[in-house]
Amino acid sequence: MKLSIATTVILFCVSSTVWAHDDNQDAEVQKLRHEVRMLKKEVRHLKSVIANGSYDRGSNIQIDDGTKGQWGCYLDDITAGGVYGTGRTEAEARGKTLAACNKKGGACFDMNVKCNRSDD
């Protein structure tokens, strides 16, 4: 009798966790299906916008003439003095700054380099 009650309780516990897992999985599948429907709807909308030509044709396009977004870095070293470097990326500007510092015989460390970007 005790064995059958224990078996029933164990089967109930196991079956309830299995059903709970299925419900959770079903909810996740439903959520994914909803997301797919929304994405398909957005794709249809974008296709119609492109087909109708009703999008803005590049009025927000900015042409980079090489001066915008230029990075400049500066390092004030005791032995080398003040050195600087410029580049299109922060890494390039840092590298040029450290190279100039090394060329002057300074004790150059990347952590001492200060960089800024020009937004002209």
| DSSP secondary structure of 45-97 | HHHHHHHHT-S--STT-----SSTT-EEEEEEETTTEEEEEEESSHHHHHHHH
- Could you tell me if residue 38 is inside a domain? no
Residue ranges of the chain with per-residue pLDDT less than 70: 1-9, 11-23, 54-68, 120
Q: Give the residue among 94, 86, 92, 83 at the shortest CA–CA distance from 70.
A: 86
Task: Write down the pLDDT at residue 81.
Answer: 87
Please give the tally of structural domains in the chain: 1
- Could you tell me if residue 37 is inside a domain? no
- Could you tell me if residue 82 is inside a domain? yes
Q: Give the residue among 38, 49, 105 at the shortest CA–CA distance from 78.
A: 105
Task: Write down the pLDDT at residue 119.
Answer: 75
- Could you tell me if residue 48 is inside a domain? no
- Could you tell me if residue 58 is inside a domain? no
* Residue 112 tokens, joined: 């001492």
- Could you tell me if residue 9 is inside a domain? no
Task: Write down the pLDDT at residue 1.
Answer: 59
Q: Give the residue among 60, 46, 47, 90 at the shortest CA–CA distance from 72.
A: 90
Task: Write down the pLDDT at residue 13.
Answer: 64
Task: Write down the pLDDT at residue 46.
Answer: 81
Q: State which residues form the domain around 86.
A: 71-117
- Could you tell me if residue 13 is inside a domain? no
- Could you tell me if residue 16 is inside a domain? no
Total-model pTM: 0.43
Task: Write down the pLDDT at residue 6.
Answer: 63
